[in-house]
Structure 1
Amino acid sequence: MITTRDPARPGRLLRTERQTLLPLLRDTPLERFELPTACPDWTVRELLAHCGAALMRIVEGRLPGFTPEHNAADVAERADWPVWRILDELESGMAEAGPAIEAADGALDVIALGEWVHAGDVREALGVPGAYESLGMEDALALLATVSRERLTPRVCAVTPCGDWVMGNVVDGRAAAELSCDEGTLIRMYTGRPVRPERYRLAGAVREELVIYR
């Protein structure tokens, strides 16, 4: 199906992630926050600092502010924060950023999706099964469908166990690509995370064309 934008979806996805991720993190031993993640050079702690900072930029209206330089500065600013303070900021951002994202008329939807994907990065670093298949998956996939069009990826008809999704845009002279995989693999492919080749079948496109974050 071709998904249209639901203005309430990004905020709902963030609030859902807040309910699932934060309890896990508050029960995680401190030493595990130093584990590496799929994001180069960032530990779990640093990735969470980035996530909380990005959301608070939205809440406080400090935009634009999502360049690599801004992100690095935000993480450095929080280098001396205790973990509980990083988690408190992240929880507040997930609870409060929804209205501002909704008011941005789609311009910030990709940030909400990125927060959900980063939560998957954290779960994977911590060894949690189904890292990119948490509660909120349907909203995440619907956001991915709209963002994939905004990021000018080619048209892909994706078949997953829980439904079919139409990603990207029609390209003149080119038939839609066909992708068969599970939902977590679909998220991984479009966000540039590692994927085992046996987890998907893709015809009519190459993986590199699908990535929305570059």
Structure 2
Amino acid sequence: MTDTHEPRDPELPGRLLVVERDALVPLLRSLPDADFARAVEACPGWTVRDVLAHCATVLTRVLERRFEPGVFSPESNERDIADRAERTHAQIIDELERGMTEAGPVIAQAGGVLDMIALGEWVHAGDLRDTFGVPGAYAGPGTPHALALLAWVTREKGHLPVHADLDDVDEPLRLGAADGARPPARFIGDSATLVRLYAGRSLDGMSYELVGAAAPELNIFG
């Protein structure tokens, strides 16, 4: 069983970003221009280009260590997207690629407070694949890193305890803070559906079992 009491691995967020870079960037560079205007269902009001601009900006902020008051609020995110309105699609992808390549060491040195950024970038990559109808949108080569990071983040956030039996992972996964105040909830399903639950994404057509908790309670981004 993967134990959430394992110490933080400072290199884990960077590994996740690099693995996802290698999976996502070639797909983005192959897109026709029209695809950048497609709406992203998981991010109401945003297009593919908007999501990419947001993801690129977040990582650039990490690299430049720019975290002014109100950063990452909805208003701040919209300003960041607007600031990139004159850039080409290729320039935004270049910025994203650089961030995914170089942000890992900065996140590692931050002591854990930025770890969730890497997880958010991975989830947004899934949002984009889902928009394009790519099978296994919230899965792929980064899944082992993402699950390990999810376990650590939910423990640090004091999230409710969950015992996850995953169809596509050999060992069960323990998430959240097992403080005895609440018995662990039980999840049975695949890892992509687990990610959807914790990211607050659509579960339409997903097959899973969740006992002892309601789906909205698992959302770490809400």
TM bin (shorter chain): over 0.9
Asked if the contact 2:163/2:186 (under 8 Å) is kept, the reply is yes
Separation of aligned partners in 2, 1:133 and 1:197: 16
What corresponds to 1:7 in structure 2?
10
TM-score for the superposition, normalised by structure 1? 0.96
Structure 1 residue ranges without an equivalent (≥5): none
Indicate which of 79, 87, 99 corresponds to 2:85: 79
- TM-score (normalizing by structure 2): 0.93
State the alpha-carbon separation in 2 of the partners of residues 59 and 173 from structure 1. 39
Amino acid at match of 1:130: G
The equivalent of 1:119 in structure 2 is 125
SS of 2:117's partner is helix
Matched residue SS, 1:202: strand
Tell me, in whole angstroms, the C-alpha distance in 1 between the residues paired with 2:206 and 2:142. 25
Q: Give the distance between the partners of 1:74 and 1:131, measured in 2 at CA.
A: 26
Cα distance in 2 between the residues matched to 1:26 and 1:197? 30
Partners of 1:74 and 1:198 in 2: CA distance: 33
The 3-state SS of whatever aligns with 1:166 is strand
CA positional deviation for 1:171: 4.9
Q: Deviations over 1:15-43 (max 9, x none)?
A: 11111100011011110111111111111
Aligned partners of 2:193 and 2:206 also within 8 Å: no
Q: What is the Cα-based RMSD across aligned positions, in Å?
A: 1.3
Aligned residue type for 2:135:
P
Partner Cα separation in structure 2 for residue 174 and residue 137 of structure 1: 28
> 2:217 aligns to what?
209
**Could you tell me which residue of structure 2 aligns to residue 155 of structure 1?**
161
Matched position secondary structure for 1:124 = helix
Amino acid at match of 1:181: G
1:111-153 deviations in Å (ceiling 9; x for gaps): 0000000000011111111100021100000111111122332
Q: What is the identity percentage for the equivalent residue pairs of Structure 1 and Structure 2?
A: 49
